[in-house]
Structure 1
């Protein structure tokens, strides 16, 4: 049903331009500088920081004040809002444009609209939007947007069905849809489908640099150096300029294959293609130089970043601190963390968690505790990882009371807890080692409250009783109440403990 009339629109699609009206390449930042501080619609819409505020009301008020609203200006604003991940307000601008009789929308506009609906309201709403489009607007642009939504939601069957329809309609005349499918297969681990998709792409159109980068990524994930080098050679023969991503992917592969000379060569080529516009490339450089063990290069790149950008973001601080910790430059990592703490207003716990993990890995529990207290003093709210790290730290030292306290706080810090079986088992093993049946029972209560009680958990509990030389009360009844089945290990453990003295602790939790 979704694609019921896609084939019927083929003739119309061939004569209808699939490109949205061209917009000026000047960004809103340029507009701000040239405007001399004057009020603009772009400024008003970008100032809507809170999602509850309405972009449509802002535009309407602008018009009521006697200002003109132009489509190219709104398209530019939507583009800037998308860059800032302000998808709700971008969608509201698109919806406002759709309601205006004097604004003529083309398929490219609807493609952007569909993508925003998928991000805000989900895939089903995006499908409904596509279904209700005018026939002549179900062309390559909107089909590619829907395909992108399927890829983002990892819907392989739906994406493949749409690709087949697009092929029937002659919509596969550029590499974009194929790139979407390559991305899907790589993210889903369906690497066996990559060669066939590449073959179909080359039969119908020409690969672009994104195609080759995806091909290189697939090769790197399989440690296939020969095919990766073949792909890169083909890229060069096609007279396509490799970008920093091309060289970054090759460098990662060479590092994994322990080919330091080749890695050093491609890394230098990558750095030549790194510039202010591709800011994220600098973090990639930091990571790659770290993996090669080049301490001086890491510090050089960080110094270069500091000179290029007025302020580092949390992700960049996270990257450099992680790099320095990995390279053993712990004091330098602490100094950069101090800098982050003094300039950042986000309070993102992921940054300090790097040092917290390092203290714990180095068995410096007192330092970890002191550092945690510092975070609290600075108003940084611990997250799940913070509590999990502290749990491991106390577990290594056998401080089980604090283990249980931190573990409980860890679970309570997230809406939905994904059980960490390794941590649970390690905690119970330590409790068993200490014969701490009170702690084992408290851990069971914490896990029950989190909705995670199993046969394995009960077996770990009873093992603790066995180690302590005590018999637990009414375990069978408690397991039935928790809807947990006994297995052979449970029965064996209960038989062993049945000859031991009754525990007073078990009566409290029975």
Structure 2
């Protein structure tokens, strides 16, 4: 379940998607204007459209310099006012263009005619942390003039500590803020609450709320965090108490409030309360908050309301010019959750026809549904279709194909897919489910060649355990064979011999030697 912080992050992700096309459009416009002939009417139109903000957005690539663009702007006889620069920094941060935003902040610190306030330095500190790391951000804070070390800069450093998962430093800094009497707004408390909730330290939440209410008043984000804590602890009554307080203090929550509340009710099996919360959520969604629509579709799918899922999808298509890959993935996930395979196939075909990305994560949702429902022939033919469409298989694609082959008891094909999956990532995190299924297959079949191939794959990935060797020994026992040089291989792999291993070794030692291909051992 997504936390309010996570939902806000997804909202930012949608905004980044939306701005991508706009930025590319601006880039093309700047290039077009720079190469165009220059009659007076064209020159006048160019001057009207050319703003400092547009120039900064059109930089796009991090290697391009915001400072050079600023200098050029000023050399052309134009002005760069502080309020305009701050607005540009906000836009760049919103679109995760942190390097260019930092360059503008650093340029402003060198301008004698620009008077910077603590809030400006707070933004500067946050950008340093994002671009250059925690050490540089901490040094920047320490080097600040004393009069600039106040609530906004302290809160910014606190946020950096929380983002860096430095709980001890964050707690110590919060204590200092309380001692200095500068924790007078809910933001620093929200950072600490977010940290405790993310770390599962829900027992510390009441004390933070007590301190917050003593020094200031909660804001909407505070209440949404409290609801998130109730969701983790599955505390329905607590969530309703938080909602009641929110309504009394602030009048109403936002769509995130009711999204979290819906999740709580879903997990508690309270269908009618879920539907009421979803209606409230829907009333609070606007076209500026695209991620809310996906959240709403997913929640409606959780209560098996296909009509509402399809209605929200239709509304989205009427509201927005183009659906993003993420939105297609939400719709596909919702339909597969509802077991509407035919509908999911239609949406996937639509995605193929309109999206240029060929992102394997989208069709993988449908592929996964085929595998889960044991539609194995369809899974294989759909994979071939993906390849023909130019979609490069991802780790998940190969993992799903491995599962499909295991369901068909085709160990060789499963191991081939698993090997491709592992080769597609820099570092493999073992999937215990697949490992268990492979061993179940080879043990059932007494497939000694298959188990030896699997051992080679696991060894190559640095994952060899006593349990792995025990499964190998059980496979040999099933086949009525004794493995070659088994104790020597276990010693080489630094595997501990346990009681079960000793019994299996004793059992297989009385059997004839099992011969496998020399290319495997």
- Name 1:123's counterpart in structure 2: 134
Which deviates the most, 331-340 or 159-168? 331-340
Matching residue within 262, 267, 274 for 2:285: 274
Task: Confirm whether residue 158 of structure 1 aligns to residue 169 of structure 2.
Answer: yes
- Name 1:251's counterpart in structure 2: 262
Matching residue within 99, 102, 106 for 1:88: 99
Which deviates the most, 418-427 or 232-241? 232-241
Q: Secondary structure in 1 aligned to 2:516?
A: helix
Q: 1:370, CA displacement in angstroms?
A: 1.4
- 1:414-438: CA deviation from partner (whole Å, max 9, x where unpaired): 1111111221121122112112211
**Distance in 1 between the 2:63 and 2:413 partners?**
41
**Distance in 1 between the 2:450 and 2:224 partners?**
52
Q: CA RMSD, aligned part only?
A: 2.3
- Name 2:407's counterpart in structure 1: 396
**Distance in 2 between the 1:346 and 1:72 partners?**
38
Task: Confirm whether residue 59 of structure 1 aligns to residue 105 of structure 2.
Answer: no
**Distance in 2 between the 1:508 and 1:351 partners?**
38
- Name 1:454's counterpart in structure 2: 465
Which deviates the most, 124-133 or 265-274? 124-133
TM norm structure 1:
0.90
- Name 2:242's counterpart in structure 1: 231
| Cα 1:233/1:36, change in 2 over 3 Å | farther
Matching residue within 347, 362, 365 for 2:373: 362
- Name 1:420's counterpart in structure 2: 431
Task: Confirm whether residue 408 of structure 1 aligns to residue 419 of structure 2.
Answer: yes
TM norm structure 2:
0.88
Which deviates the most, 345-354 or 395-404? 345-354
Task: Confirm whether residue 193 of structure 1 aligns to residue 227 of structure 2.
Answer: no
- 1:422-475: CA deviation from partner (whole Å, max 9, x where unpaired): 211211221121122112111111111112122221222222222222212222
- Name 2:40's counterpart in structure 1: none
Q: 1:329, CA displacement in angstroms?
A: 2.2
Q: 1:400, CA displacement in angstroms?
A: 0.9
| Unpaired segments ≥5 residues, structure 2 | 1-18, 30-44
Contact 1:286–1:302 (8 Å) recurs in 2: yes
Task: Confirm whether residue 336 of structure 1 aligns to residue 351 of structure 2.
Answer: no
- 1:339-361: CA deviation from partner (whole Å, max 9, x where unpaired): 11111122221111110001111
Q: 1:398, CA displacement in angstroms?
A: 0.8
| Unpaired segments ≥5 residues, structure 1 | 1-26
Matching residue within 209, 224, 237 for 2:220: 209
- 1:352-378: CA deviation from partner (whole Å, max 9, x where unpaired): 111000111121112111111222222
| Cα 1:71/1:378, change in 2 over 3 Å | farther
Q: Secondary structure in 2 aligned to 1:417?
A: coil
Which deviates the most, 178-187 or 147-156? 147-156
Contact 1:472–1:506 (8 Å) recurs in 2: no
**Distance in 2 between the 1:328 and 1:236 partners?**
38
- Name 2:85's counterpart in structure 1: 74
**Distance in 1 between the 2:345 and 2:365 partners?**
10
Which deviates the most, 494-503 or 39-48? 39-48
Residues 429-444 of structure 1: matches in 2 within 5 Å?
429-444=440-455
**Distance in 2 between the 1:100 and 1:489 partners?**
74
Q: 1:184, CA displacement in angstroms?
A: 1.0
| Cα 1:56/1:231, change in 2 over 3 Å | same
| Cα 1:36/1:290, change in 2 over 3 Å | farther
Task: Confirm whether residue 172 of structure 1 aligns to residue 183 of structure 2.
Answer: yes
Task: Confirm whether residue 49 of structure 1 aligns to residue 74 of structure 2.
Answer: no
**Distance in 2 between the 1:331 and 1:343 partners?**
19
Contact 1:209–1:240 (8 Å) recurs in 2: no
Q: 1:53, CA displacement in angstroms?
A: 2.6
Q: Secondary structure in 2 aligned to 1:189?
A: coil
**Distance in 2 between the 1:83 and 1:348 partners?**
24
- Name 1:20's counterpart in structure 2: none
Which deviates the most, 167-176 or 410-419? 410-419
- Name 2:276's counterpart in structure 1: 265
| Cα 1:40/1:463, change in 2 over 3 Å | same
Contact 1:473–1:506 (8 Å) recurs in 2: no
Q: Secondary structure in 2 aligned to 1:485?
A: coil
Contact 1:384–1:413 (8 Å) recurs in 2: yes
Number of aligned positions between the proteins: 483
